[in-house]
Structure 1
Amino acid sequence: MNVLNDKKIRIIGPLVLFLGGTLFFRLDWYLELSTGIVVRSDLIGLTAGYICWNIARWVAIQLQKKYPGLANTRRRLLWMVLLMPLLVNFAWLIRQLAHIAFNNASYITQTLPNYTYSIGIQIFYHCIYFIIYEGSYILGAWRQAYNYNEQLKKNKLRHQLDTLKSQINPHFLFNSLNSLSMLIYENPRQAETFVDEISSVYRYLLRANDQELTTLGLELQFIKSYFQLLKTRYGAGIELHIAVDEWQLERRIPPLTLQLLVENAVKHNIILPKRPLIIEIITKESLLVVQNNLQRKKSAVPSNKVGLANIAAKYRLLEQRDITIHEANGLFVVTLPLLANQSEAKATL
């Protein structure tokens, strides 16, 4: 329920509560009091009900504005409990003053049992007021949070699908199959090894999108298989050097990170046996550095910059430090944070 569009319930609600209260709390009035007193008492009770309903509504809305969202529910409820004595006593007082003004009561005279009985009724009414407005607010906030989480899941699935599509590059597969075709004729044994590498690469590609993180060790195993496919195609025109501390192998990174960086280097640089593209993967403390020598192609290569942006987006989603990209001393350098392994992550909780 939108509190800004609750005109109908503001009209009907107090009337329904008044009728219910009459049935359960004031039925004896109709048997013991005169018709004039009953009519005036009913008008006083109904008018006071409308006034108290709108005051409670205003309090609930102000608390929701000051302490919005599901996270502040406990704080809003605490304030409602603290304000309850003030509100119910105010409700009791305006009724007593109305009886003095319009129902021939000379002054307020109530015994303690009658006072506590009246206060109990007002507490019941005010609980209903707050349940209606706070309950509908909580339900709306929960629904909004649920829809937001569902949208995040859909976006994540869409992102995974887009990533998968970008990884299973049809040109790469076409080139790999061409290389395999030549090997089958020239070197059957190497062709068999090449098939195993293709199988390993695509198996990893298909599984990787089910995980947010993978270990550096598994990612390096994959990139070695991936590099063998590139090596078969480019021969002496490409080199890969890995210098990673063994104790870092259990650290984690988003899957397919290394493949994106290697693919990026291959895409934008000249690859010749006399001018080999040299790709290095090294660790420095808690950082992974992937760099290659710069020998850009003279003709511009069409690029939507999905690779590097994809990596940066993954780190942002994981709420980690940003990656850094720079050129220095003829090198294109990408520096990535290595994330804690599972045992280290549990130790920090």
Structure 2
Amino acid sequence: MSTALLYNKIGRQIWLSLFGRWIFALLVPWFVPTISYLLIGEPYLQSLYNFAGGTLMIFAMTIVAFVPHDRAARYIAQKYPSLDSTIKRSALTAVAFWILTFVFVTFYMFFIMRFRPFEARLDARMMINVYLFEFVAVILLTGLYEINYSLNKWKSLKINKEAIKRAGMQGQLQSLKSQVNPHFLFNSLNTLSALISDEPKRAEQFVDEMARVYRYLLQTNQDELTSLAAEIRFIRSYYHLLRTRYDTGFDLVIEVNDEDLGKKIPPLTLQLLLENAVKHNSILESNPLRVQIRSLGGDLLEISNNRLTKSTPVRSTRLGLANIMAKYELLSDRLPLIDNNEAVFTVTLPLITPKTVSA
């Protein structure tokens, strides 16, 4: 890297770390003159030269010291981002600030005592006052950082919550668009009509499962997450409708570990993947479409289906997969993985636990 590019990168980082933050703007007007007086003593106020020069010198020292303080605060915030970790984050930030402040202040006082710039008269009593002042300043600075962080975090969570609601509404609309439409109703009612005359008991069961499907579709997106157990109960009802319609041409295998049932996923995720499989594959009793839902361990759930090319392929809009990815981006640090090869289409979903939900 050239010297010019290196200086440009350093300057950009300093600008973003310091002058782009309101904390530094609040700190400078009172902190720099006060600490200048404590470090230089009475000569600081005895001439314009000493006042201006001493202020600029301490201002430059403050910038140098503030950069590692700012980076330490941001590093700790990244390690403990949750609002539930406020006390721990504040305590660690304060300790880091006190250590850094002690190192920088000690070095600066040694420099001033050694070279006596601007006729400085720093003695032992003044050094104690400097340490006491810095101790109080660190408490105030920590408070400002925590207030700034908490407000921004709260704002971010609020924005994310609104985005999740929008994604949920889009998912609900997409699901209803795919399911609650004349074509779907026509096929369902045709199936029901045939069952009523030939198999009335199966017709009654079909109506019950159909009611469960529609109830879940209409209600579930009120929540950001649903348990895997609830989603699988819904999928069994949804599968019953598909199985009644396609008979042995469609098969679903669910192999989910009991310990995964209490974990969370975005609602309608499995339904969208089953719908995707039915939409893009041929379904024949002689060559069935098979969908498998199984636990992989490590908080992962795999949904796969064999690929059976349709004679007239359906154009993919990828809205269902895009909706799933959008929800995971908002709700988790891990994203689904998609493997689309010639034989099998596979989606691996992360199961969301309280530890993996984005804060």
Q: TM-score, normalised by structure 1?
A: 0.64
From 262, 271, 274, give the equivalent of 1:262: 274
**What is the identity, as a one-letter code, of the residue corresponding to 1:256?**
L
Radius of gyration: which is bigger? 1
From 165, 172, 176, give the equivalent of 1:164: 172
The reply on whether 1:4 has 2:12 as its aligned counterpart is: no
**2:213: which partner in 1?**
201
Q: Which moved more, 1:65-74 or 1:223-232?
A: 65-74
**What is the identity, as a one-letter code, of the residue corresponding to 1:305?**
R
Question: CA shift at 1:229, angstroms?
Answer: 2.6
From 257, 261, 271, give the equivalent of 1:250: 261
Point out where structure 2 has 5 or more consecutive residues left out of the alignment: 1-14, 78-92
Match of 2:62, SS state, is helix
**1:332: which partner in 2?**
344
Point out where structure 1 has 5 or more consecutive residues left out of the alignment: 27-37, 100-107, 109-113
CA contact (8 A) 1:91 1:122 kept: no
CA contact (8 A) 1:312 1:322 kept: yes
| Cα distance, 1:16–1:42 mapped onto 2, change above 3 Å | same
The reply on whether 1:299 has 2:312 as its aligned counterpart is: yes
Task: Measure the CA separation in 2 of the matches of 1:11 and 1:324.
Answer: 52
**2:59: which partner in 1?**
54
**1:212: which partner in 2?**
225
The percentage of counterpart residues that share the same residue type is 22
The reply on whether 1:80 has 2:92 as its aligned counterpart is: no
The reply on whether 1:318 has 2:326 as its aligned counterpart is: no
Task: Measure the CA separation in 2 of the matches of 1:39 and 1:283.
Answer: 74
Question: 1:323-342: CA deviations, max 9, x gaps?
Answer: 342446xx434253674999
Task: Measure the CA separation in 1 of the matches of 2:336 and 2:147.
Answer: 37
Task: Measure the CA separation in 2 of the matches of 1:257 and 1:9.
Answer: 48
The reply on whether 1:281 has 2:292 as its aligned counterpart is: yes
What is the RMSD of the two structures over their aligned residues, measured on CA atoms? Answer: 4.8
CA contact (8 A) 2:246 2:283 kept: no
**2:196: which partner in 1?**
187
- Within a 5 Å distance, the mapping from 1:18-57 to structure 2 comes to 41=46, 46-47=51-52, 50-51=55-56, 53-57=58-62
CA contact (8 A) 1:14 1:53 kept: no
Match of 2:346, SS state, is strand
**What is the identity, as a one-letter code, of the residue corresponding to 1:62?**
V
The reply on whether 1:226 has 2:247 as its aligned counterpart is: no
CA contact (8 A) 2:336 2:350 kept: no
**What is the identity, as a one-letter code, of the residue corresponding to 1:224?**
R
**1:155: which partner in 2?**
163
**What is the identity, as a one-letter code, of the residue corresponding to 1:177?**
L
